[in-house]
Amino acid sequence: MDKILISFLAICMLGACKKESTPKEGLLKGKVELAANAPQEVVDEKKTIQFPSRDGLPITADVYLVGGRSISVLLCHQAGFSRGEYKDTALELNKLGYSVMAIDQRSGKIANDVVNETAKEAKIKNLSTTYLDARQDIEAAIDHIYSNNDKQPLLLVGSSYSASLALIIGNNNDKIERVAAFSPGEYFKGVNIQDEIKDYDKPVFVTASKSETPALATLVSDINPKVLTHYKPMAKGIHGSRVLWETTEGTKGYWEAFKDFLK
């Protein structure tokens, strides 16, 4: 009887061990499958390139690529600045999944220790470097990106004078899907920006410093509210896309509004 009882207990223990092994094997298999399906590491890349403007002037640009995606955002700087204006902003946009290009327009100088190479070349060639002269640089950049990203429409971002140019260009350019204009205004002699943009039919985001907000409200007053997003800051802010700089008062609010527009 004792031998029979011992044998019975041994069989039960062996059966229990077999039952226990099943979930352990399943758990290991699940971990292997999870690792295999996990997203691969995103490799970021920054490079400086050149391509010709409409008149042949070499345009210098910084390209910030993320996750193997084509460029979908074009960044244009304010007066006296360079592509360096977007040194940090470009990286933040990378975090949101956007590959971007920041260009040097011929009207500018330096920002964040980054010299405007396009402006330098324009000076050497004795070319005119007014705000309106820079329009061809932005248009050439749009064409360059569009021809290299499988013809996907872009988000065009402008700052100060280039914000006004972005509004004008984006309004009638099928290669532009959306426009973001930081501190646009009536900066061009002989051109009425308010009249130029009154028939906007694509999404447009505008903002400025607190002191500039009333004038900006007038500038965009004729745009259809259905396509317009106007962020009016409570904080002081600053002129141009520098509102997105970490050092700017109220930058968090600007970024939240901009991100909402990007969704």
Candidates 145, 147, 121; CA nearest to 133 is: 121
Q: In sequence order, what are the residues at sequence separation of 6 or more whose Cβ sits closer than 8 angstroms to the Cβ of residue 97?
A: 66, 67, 69
* Of 25-39, 150-164, 176-190, minimum mean pLDDT range: 25-39
Mean pLDDT throughout 186-200?
97
Mean pLDDT throughout 229-238?
98
Distance CA 202, CA 200 (A): 6
Mean pLDDT throughout 15-40?
33
pLDDT for 44: 82
Distance CA 98, CA 82 (A): 20
Distance CA 76, CA 101 (A): 9
Distance CA 223, CA 202 (A): 10
SS3 73: strand
Mean pLDDT throughout 173-185?
98
Topology (CATH level 3) of domain 45-262: Rossmann fold (3.40.50)
pLDDT for 231: 98
pLDDT for 89: 98
pLDDT at 112 exceeding the cut of 50: yes
Strand 71-76, strand 45-52: pairing: unpaired
Residue with tokens 């061809």: 136
pLDDT at 32 exceeding the cut of 60: no
pLDDT for 2: 44
Q: Structural domain boundaries of the chain? A: 1-38, 45-262
Distance CA 155, CA 170 (A): 9
pLDDT for 24: 31
pTM to 2 decimal places = 0.84
Express as a percent the part of the chain with pLDDT over 90. 83
What band does 213 get if pLDDT is binned at 50, 70 and 90? very high
Mean pLDDT throughout 152-166?
98
Structure tokens at 80: 């006296």
What would the pLDDT profile of 68-96 be if each residue is shown by its tens digit? 999 999 999 999 999 999 999 999 999 99
E-state strands within 165-253 = 176-182, 204-207, 228-231
Distance CA 134, CA 79 (A): 11
